[in-house]
Structure 1
């Protein structure tokens, strides 16, 4: 009996996002921010507390946050309330403010023995790396949200970037302010980033009387 040549079967590759929740990550609510902050304060983890607070206030992308230098935040031996850095993605400057609570936690962290002689704000505990990696930062964010009972698949490093601007937008509806704070070159990017829908835009317009 002649042999039948069957067509070759190429095994299907498992989709990278199978079983994962993908898409835009949710910002933290104010009560969730305070819950994470309280847990970090209780554990006495100065680095993670400073990292968390700076992440919320700075609204920086992970790559820019982890590579912050002490000289970015300190000038003339004083912590700066307003900081300006050049974003690695756009090569354009962006400014951010540090709240009083953040200034206090950063001060405590800088004065700790672990920071002696460190050039970077969040040095790595591995000798071959000058600062923590974005992957390590992502793992820390995951640990933080899990610690207060949130589903980690819905949150990520961009949750930290979006948290404060989402609250600013909710309270003011000022897209231009949010655009400047995020360092976006186009307002369209800000609209997509915040997930602004038509109903949001209409409700904002209804509150403006000219």
Structure 2
């Protein structure tokens, strides 16, 4: 095919047939649907990864690089942890709930992990920990298994879920900013899409 013929071909938009924009956070019922499924089928690594992703609110690139020492004090999983974000080079703290601590502890014991080991080692010999691409595949598997539309959700769903739930309960935007490690409040507003959500909520509560 010559260049003239190629130029005359209609261009297909890169996002044709795809949903773009912010990925939706999980609802509480969806969190528990995934969690219970992982528990029933004894998928210990996935359960620890899922719980930690929700609690930590970390980007995928930071989550997959966590080492045991990052979340443990000695042999015990800590209640709080702090990591330096790769994107911003700034520290961010996060809490670890009891269920998350238990799932991490069980996974570490089963996998025989030491303090210097990556928390989620890769099963591929040339990679020391699961990659962000592997993480994305795992996350999409969770969503598929409970019937969520895959293109509407992604790894950022895991990062957005708990901050969104916290904001809806408290309306404390500053707290959410700190939890996400954002340097600017405007970034948090855009990230949560709260102006749109709040407008829709007010519309739903108003009878015309």
**Rg larger in 1 or in 2?**
1
Pairing 1:107-122 to 2, within 5 Å after superposition: 107-113=105-111, 115=113, 119-122=117-120
1:145-200 alpha-carbon deviations (Å, 9 max, x no partner): 11111111110000000000100000000000000000000000000000011783
* Structure 2 counterpart of 1:101, from 96, 99, 102: 99
Match of 1:142 in 2: 140
> Following the alignment from structure 1 to structure 2, what is the Cα–Cα distance between the partners of residues 158 and 135?
13
Unmatched segments (≥5 aa) in structure 1: 1-6, 205-210
Pairing 1:1-210 to 2, within 5 Å after superposition: 8-9=4-5, 10=7, 11-113=9-111, 115=113, 119-197=117-195, 200=198
The normalised TM-score by structure 2 is 0.89
1:148–1:63: structure 2 CA closer, same or farther, 3 Å change rule?
same
2:68–2:115: 8 Å Cα contact kept in structure 1? Answer: no
> Following the alignment from structure 2 to structure 1, what is the Cα–Cα distance between the partners of residues 78 and 180?
19
Query: What's the Cα RMSD here?
Result: 2.1
> Following the alignment from structure 2 to structure 1, what is the Cα–Cα distance between the partners of residues 59 and 134?
14
Aligned residues: 198
